[in-house]
Amino acid sequence: MGALYDSKSKTLDDKGIKNLLSPDAKYQAWLTVEAALAKAQGELGVIPVAAATHINEKAQIENLDFVKMEEIYRKVGHGFVPFLKVFVAACDEESGKYIHFGATTQNIQQTSQNLIAKQIHQKFKQFMLEIMENLANLAKDNAETIMAGRTHGKHAIPITYGYKAAVWLSELMTSYERLEEVEKRIFTTMMGGAIGAFNAAGEKGIAVQTRVAKILQMPAMAIPSRNINAPKIEYINVLALLANNLHKIAEEVFQTSIEEFGEVSEGFTKGTIGSSTMPHKINPKLSKGIIANAQKLYSLTSVGYYSAARPFEADSTTNMLFDGIFTEALELMTEILMRGEELTRTLEIHRERMYQNANINHGLDNSEFIMMKLAAEIGKDQAHELVYELAIETELSQKNYADVLLHNEKIQQVFQKKEIEELLKPENYIGLSVQLAYDTAEAAYELVAKAQKQGDEVHV
C-alpha cells in the first residue's frame, strides 16, 4: 500500500514528509500528545503537577525500550498498550501511574495523526505555492505563444499557451483555498475517552481537552466522538481534487509530448535512461507518476464513505481503515506534489511546433472568426450556415480554405482577399488569451507573496 514509486522518486525533494510518516515520527507524536494530556491534567489538578512535569521530561523517543515493546506486542495483541507499558516503565513509579489517565487509544492515536498531518499539510501548501509560481511564470512567459485550442480531442479555435497555463493556475488557486478552508475541521484534538462523553475524565474533561488543544495548537472537537469521520473524508476529497488539478496537467503534457504533437517535453537530464532495451527512449516520467498516483488517490474517497457509516459509538474496523487510507492519501499526495513541482518548473515549451500545429488546418480553425465578421452583415444563423458549407467543402475536397472562401459570391461581397488572409491567421483570433494569462499570473504572484509573508501557517 501507499504511493507508487519509480526511479524518479529518488531524485525529488519531499521536504521531509517521508520522515514525518516514519514509525519514529508516529511514536514521538504519541509521546507528545500523552505529554500534552498530562500537562493539561496537572495544570487543572487532575493529576499531581510533579507527575505531569516528569511525564513531559520523559516524553522523548530515546526513552522507549523498543525491544521490550515488541515482546509485549506478541503477548497482548494490542496496537497501543505495549507503547503505554514501556512509556510507564520509562517514568518513575509514582509518575507512571498517571500516564494515559482517563484517555483511550484513539484519543492519542487520532490526535497524534492529526498533529503529524498538520505538519505535512503545511509542506503541501509550500509545494503548492511553488507550483503556482511555476505556472504563473509559464502563463506570463507564454502569454502570446500561439497554439491550437482543442475540444473533444480536435482543433477548435486558437488560444495561447499562457491562457492554458492560466486555466490550470486558476484551478490550483481554488484548491489552495480549499486546503486553507478545511484546516479548522481536520486538525483537531479529541480527549473524550472511550465513548467521547468524558466518562473517565469526569467534570474537568472538557477543560482538559480544551487545554490540550491549546498546548498542541489545534482546535478541540466539539463532541470528541470516535465515530465522527467526516472531516477525514473531506480532507481526502480535498486532496483528491488537488490531485485532479495536477493529473489534468500531467495528462496534457503526456499527450502533447508525443512526437506527433511535439509541443512540450519534460525537462531532461543527460544520463537519465528510459529503457533497458531502447537506447533512444526519453519518457515522461514525471507525468506518468502523477497520473498513476492520482488515480489511486481517487479510490480512497469511496472507501472512506462506506467505513464512516458504521453504527454505534466506535468500531475498530473504521479506525483501522481510516488510519490506513489517511496515511496513504498523504503519501500519494506527496508523490504527486513533488512531481508536479518539478514538472511545472522544468517543462520545455516548443513554440514553433505549437504555431505549426495551429496552422495545420490552413485557417479552418478560424471559421468562427469568419462567421462572426459575416454575421454583422447577414445575421448569425445565415453566417453559420454559409461558413459551415464552405468549411465542410474544404474538409471533403482537400481544397485550400482561403480559395474556397474567395470563390463564394457572398464572401466576395463582404471581404477582400487581404482581409480573408488576415482573418485566417491564428494569431489574429485568440480572444482575450493574453490578458487572461497576465491577469491570472499576477493574481497568483500576489497570492504566493501574501502566503510567504504570513509564513504559510496552518490556520486552525
Question: What pLDDT score does 38 carry?
Answer: 99
Give the per-residue pLDDT at 334: 98
Residues 419 and 305 in one domain: no
Q: What is the CATH number of the domain that holds 124?
A: 1.20.200.10
Residues 278 and 296 in one domain: yes
Q: Are residues 114 and 8 in contact, defined by beta-carbon separation less than 8 angstroms?
A: no
448 falls within a domain: no
pLDDT of residue 314: 84
How many domains does the structure of the chain reveal? 2
Helix axes of 316-346 and 230-256: crossing angle, nearest 10 degrees:
30
The pLDDT of residue 315 is above 60: yes
**Is 84 contained in some domain?**
yes
- The 10s digit of each residue's pLDDT in 208-239 is 999 999 999 999 999 999 999 999 999 999 99
Q: Is 46 inside a domain boundary?
A: yes
The answer, yes or no, to whether residue 192 has pLDDT greater than 90, is yes
Q: What is the pTM of this model?
A: 0.93
Residue 5 has pLDDT above 80, yes or no: no
Give the separation between CA 123 and CA 17, rounded to whole angstroms. 8
Calculate the alpha carbon distances from 382 to 74, 127, 136, 411 in Å. 82, 52, 41, 12
352-365 pLDDT tens trace: 999 999 999 999 99
Whether 247 and 382 share a structural domain: no
Domain co-membership, 413 together with 308: no
Per-residue cell: 229 = 469521520
pLDDT band at 271 (very low <50, low <70, confident <90, very high): low
Higher per-residue confidence, 270 vs 248: 248
* Residue 299 belongs to some domain of the structure: yes
Task: Give the residue numbers annotated as catalytic, written as ranges.
Answer: 152, 275
- Give the per-residue pLDDT at 273: 62
Note the pLDDT of residue 202: 92
pLDDT digits (tens, 9 = 90+) for 127-185: 999 999 999 999 999 999 999 999 999 999 999 999 999 999 999 999 999 999 999 99
Among residues 328, 355, 382, the one where a domain terminates is 355
324 and 387 in a common domain: no
Q: Are residues 246 and 175 in the same domain?
A: yes
Query: What residues have CB less than 8 Å from 184, skipping those under 6 apart?
Result: 219, 459, 460
Query: Is 138 found in the same domain as 93?
Result: yes
Examine residue 280 and state whether it is found in any structural domain, yes or no. Answer: yes
Beta strands in 58-215 (DSSP E): 146-151, 154-160
Averaged pLDDT score across all residues of the chain: 94
Q: Are residues 413 and 335 in the same domain?
A: no
**Residue where one domain finishes, among candidates 355, 385, 409:** 355
Query: Which secondary structure element, helix H or strand E, spans residue 274, and what is its range?
Result: none
The pLDDT of residue 9 is above 80:
no
In the chain, pLDDT over 70 holds for what percent of residues? 95
Same domain for 299 and 378, yes or no, is no
Q: What is the CATH number of the domain that holds 400?
A: 1.10.40.30
Tens digits of per-residue pLDDT, 406-415?
A: 999 999 999 9
Look at residue 456 and tell me whether its pLDDT is greater than 80: no
The contacts of residue 375 (CB under 8 Å, 6+ apart) are: 382, 383, 384
- Single out the residue of 168, 208, 172 nearest to residue 190, CA to CA: 208
State the pLDDT at residue 284: 86
pLDDT at 367 over 80: yes
Residue 313 lies in a domain: yes
Q: In terms of domains, do 32 and 145 share one?
A: yes
**Same domain, yes or no: 341 and 379:** no
Cell of 437: 494569462
At residue 417, the pLDDT reads 95
Q: Do strands 154-160 and 146-151 pair parallel, antiparallel, or not at all (unpaired)?
A: antiparallel
Question: Is 276 a residue whose pLDDT tops 90?
Answer: no
Q: What is the mean pLDDT of residues 94-118?
A: 97
Q: Would 430 be classed as within a structural domain?
A: no
Task: Report yes or no on 460 lying in a domain.
Answer: no
pLDDT of residue 7: 63
Q: Same domain for 379 and 311?
A: no
What domain range includes position 390? Answer: 364-424
